[in-house]
Amino acid sequence: VQALLQDLRAAVGDAHVLVDDDQRTGYEVDWTGRYRGAAVAVVRPGSTAEVQAVVRSCSTHGVALVPQGGNTGLVGGSVPRHPTGAPTIVTSLRRLARIGDIDEAALQVTVGAGATLAAVAARARASSLDLPVDFAARDSATIGGAIATNAGGSRVVRFGTMRHQVLGVEAVLASGDVVGSLAGLPKESAGLHWPSILSGSEGTLAIVTAARLRLVPHYAHTITALVTVPTVSDAGRVLAHLRAHVSSLDAVEVVLPEALDLVAEHLGSAPPIRPSTDGLALLIDCAAPVDPTAELTTALEASPKVVDCVVTADASQRRALLEFRDRITEAVAAESTRIGTPTFKLDVAVPVERLADLVVEASLAADADGCRLIAFGHLAEGNLHLNHLGARDTSQLARRVLGAAAEMGGTISAEHGIGVAKTEYLPMIRNEAELASSRAIKSALDPGDLLNPGVLGLGG
Ligand code: 2HG
Ligand code: ZN
């Protein structure tokens, strides 16, 4: 290990090899406090060449490395937890934060893997463009991490997930070689496509160092609505109506009553309207070059099943409304600290028409466990975040809820990834041929099992 540290210092400079306990801790535990491990060191390369040198040193010494971005992940995929307990290096990509010039003709930008979503969005907005992916962890979450997990967020209804925004990647393989291209060609039909191979690979196949991203217009007019509906099935009807009649639809988020109460208590302010106990709240964003208020209000008035709604174009009122969605994760974390148990999180998706069945199953499972269920998510993708507070038997909960989602034609992870948290449940949604193919690809690209061992059930 001492020889490795010496090589790493030579590669990135003494100041960027962190070995002291207090310097390492923030990199060794995940955001929820549920997943933690110990790293021999945290290395902070400042260029692609330095990432190559770090990978080669780790390879020479046979020491695994965990790539890490903003460390906002929720499935333990970015903390050092080697399955065999072998020594591990955390490689933080946060210094690769360069944001290139905005290409207004191509609607693209080249960014370092360590740039945060918020920083890229701010830069794009200065050119009246925007990043099509957005979620609550935007100030810390990095582009590299978002690619690694194929992150989603609130704008998927309009623009798709992270995978759909990546026109090119540059990445370092376990061999230390660089693959990919940042040319950003919208058309290229020349065999395997690195952005497709690496999106969602969770740092197990290569370390993304930079990306060429698609940008979209930054709409001058953004409005937000809070809507209440009687049941989950009704929410599906409202969604269908809005998709047919509102061309400016940018987000359709769903908040169940328990989640709304928790975040309201956390914020110290009540939402202007509240759903009934069986009902739910929808937070809807519209964005367009001209004010979309008329489009949205007309559609809401004509929509079946809308009980109550408020629509605002005022920036500070919008922000206040959006907090009832954006800050639920934070409210859950505060409650989890108060009760002294980490939250047990599941991130499932089902076809939208099965969402009501999923909510019933999830509630029954939580009741059987005796825990408190805080549910919210992204309606258009049938994606629910099930946050269990004070859960007793997490493995029983996971089997039951993930099994139900899989059974309904859904998935065990919609946007957070598999990490180490969900590996044992992968067979619920992948057959043996698929799992064996993933293992074959992993061992072809990373025969020494150097990159994020154990994550996605690969290696380790
Ligand atoms: C969100 O949609 C994130 O805000 C986090 O995916 C969800 O905390 C969660 O469960
Ligand atoms: Zn989410």
Provide the pLDDT for residue 460: 77
pLDDT at residue number 32: 86
Of all ligands present, the nearest one to the C-alpha of 343 is 1
Which atom from ligand 1 is nearest to the alpha carbon of 345? Answer: 10
In the prediction, which pLDDT does 62 show? 97
Q: Which ligand has the minimum distance to the alpha carbon of residue 383? A: 2
Tokens of 325: 């969605």
The best mutation among 139, 373, 416 to test binding of ligand 1, ranked by most ligand atoms within 8 Å of the C-beta, falls on: 416
Q: Ligand nearest 323 Cα, by number? A: 1
Contact 285, 221 (CB under 8 A): no
- Residue 387 Cα: closest atom of ligand 1: 10
Distance between CA atoms of residues 131 and 290, nearest Å: 19
pTM greater than the 0.85 cutoff: yes
* Ligand 1 atom nearest residue 325's Cα: 4
Q: Work out which ligand 1 atom sits closest to the CA atom of 136.
A: 4
Ligand 1 atom closest to Cα of residue 332: 8
What ligand 1 atom has the least distance to the C-alpha of 415?
6
- Rounded distance between C-alpha atoms, residue 210 and residue 208, angstroms: 6
Q: Whose CA is nearest to atom 10 of ligand 1?
A: 385
- Residues lining ligand 1, Cβ inside 6 A: 135-136, 329, 345, 385, 387, 415
Residue of the nearest CA to atom 6 in ligand 1? 153
Sites in the chain below the pLDDT cut of 50:
none
**Which of 135, 348, 374 is the best mutation target for the ligand 1 pocket, counting ligand atoms within 8 Å of the beta carbon and taking the most?**
135
- What does the longest C-alpha to C-alpha distance in the chain come to? 70
User: What phi-psi label fits residue 376: left (phi over 0), alpha (psi between -120 and 50 degrees) or beta?
Assistant: beta
What are the Cα distances from residue 296, in Å, to 132, 271, 341?
A: 21, 20, 41
| Helices 2-12 and 48-61, axial angle in degrees (round to 10) | 170
CA of 385 from ligand 1 middle (Å) equals 6
Q: What is the number of the ligand 1 atom nearest to the C-alpha of 386?
A: 10
- For residue 329, which atom of ligand 1 is closest to its CA? 8
Identify residue 10 by its one-letter amino acid code.
Answer: A
Ligand 1 centroid to residue 411 C-alpha, Å: 16
pLDDT at position 20: 97
pLDDT of residue 279: 96
How many angstroms does the Cα of residue 136 sit away from the middle of ligand 2? 8
Task: Note the pLDDT of residue 281.
Answer: 98
To test the pocket of ligand 1, the residue of 34, 74, 346, 413 to mutate (highest count of ligand atoms within 8 Å of its CB) is 74
For residues 225, 226, 229, 232, the Cα torsion angle rounded to the nearest 10 degrees is 90
The CA 133 to ligand 1 mean position distance, Å, reads 14
Tally of helices (H runs) and strands (E runs) in the chain = 15, 17
* Count of other CB atoms within 10 angstroms of residue 58: 27
The rounded Å distance from CA 323 to ligand 1 centre is 13
Distance 329 CA to ligand 1 centre (A): 6
CA distance 247 to 271: 27
Residue having the nearest C-alpha atom to atom 4 of ligand 1? 136
Please choose from 155, 252, 285, 328 the residue to mutate so as to test ligand 1's pocket, defined by most ligand atoms within 8 A of CB. 328
Which residue's CA is the closest to the ligand 1 atom numbered 8? 329
> Probe ligand 1: pick from 32, 376, 388, max atoms within 8 Å of CB?
376
Output the CA–CA distances (angstroms, integers) from residue 229 to 24, 27, 269, 298, in the order listed: 47, 42, 21, 17
